[in-house]
Amino acid sequence: MTLVSPEELAELLASGTSVRVLDVRWSLAEPDGHAAFESGHIPGAVYVDLETDLSDHTVPGRGRHPLPSGDALEASLRRWGVDDGDTVVVYDDWNRAGSSRAWWMLRAAGLGDVRILDGGLGAWRALGKPVGTEVESPRPGSITLVHRNFDAGALATLTAADAAELARDGVLLDARAPERFRGEIEPIDPVAGHIPGAVNLPSTALLGPDGRFAPADDLRALFAARGVDGGNEAGAYCGSGVTAAVVVAAAEVAGIDLALFPGSWSQWSSDPANPVETGPATD
């Protein structure tokens, strides 16, 4: 199960089930979500900093949000109070980006029950569910990760070379906004454009106006329109591996396996030897 509704989360929390709720608020405009967390969060949630907990900026050549080591992630999970067998629910308040990044990492590390709060904090608030300001310090968790190497984890990843090959021989989805894909603007990375042969599928196209993921049938149609039907090799990338995780999560809802290129455009474009394509996708 990939998603959990606000109603289902409320039932889980009331049932006595061992649930750990993680608040992963992050956006391109405001990467530090700690102040937002302190101003109001799901009671009992623990704040997760995407920039420091879910990235390791000391790793060179892997883009703007390099994945941390498995040891570092395990230490963070224990700090958040996660034990083996816990149900982990992740949420955010911006386009499911932070929660999808956390979902992908925890699933890739071998956690079996990780769910994204569908609609994020906005959906929780819209139903009148409680929001608190008390910041709790959970007791240390005892989880032991099954996979400590994301390159050989439970979910498939792509190297830059893999991404180039997939764009030629399979389907490589670019999760960025269309204008960034076409190379008309590039507000973050030094080079504009996309990986040659990639197909644009903005992560926001997979969400409804309420921020919830589209129904599975609609998601399958969106993927099929880009040539992804579950029977061919396919993967996704974005600017730095964050919003592409939204596409991977949506694909799982649709029953489709997608590999993730964690370094994404920020890694690809940093190497001058890599070719760059601009304009709309071509057949």
What are the catalytic residues? Answer: 238
Task: Residue 5: count other Cβ atoms within 10 Å of its Cβ.
Answer: 16
* Exposed / middle / buried, residue 249 (Cβ in 10 Å: 0-12, 13-18, 19+): buried
Pairwise CA distance, residues 220 & 211, whole Å: 18
Pairwise CA distance, residues 45 & 233, whole Å: 37
Pairwise CA distance, residues 185 & 197, whole Å: 19
* Exposed / middle / buried, residue 71 (Cβ in 10 Å: 0-12, 13-18, 19+): exposed
Nearest CA-CA partner of 111 in 141, 66, 140: 141
Give the C-alpha distances (Å, rounded to integers) separating 228 from 163, 224, 225, 231.
Answer: 15, 5, 7, 8
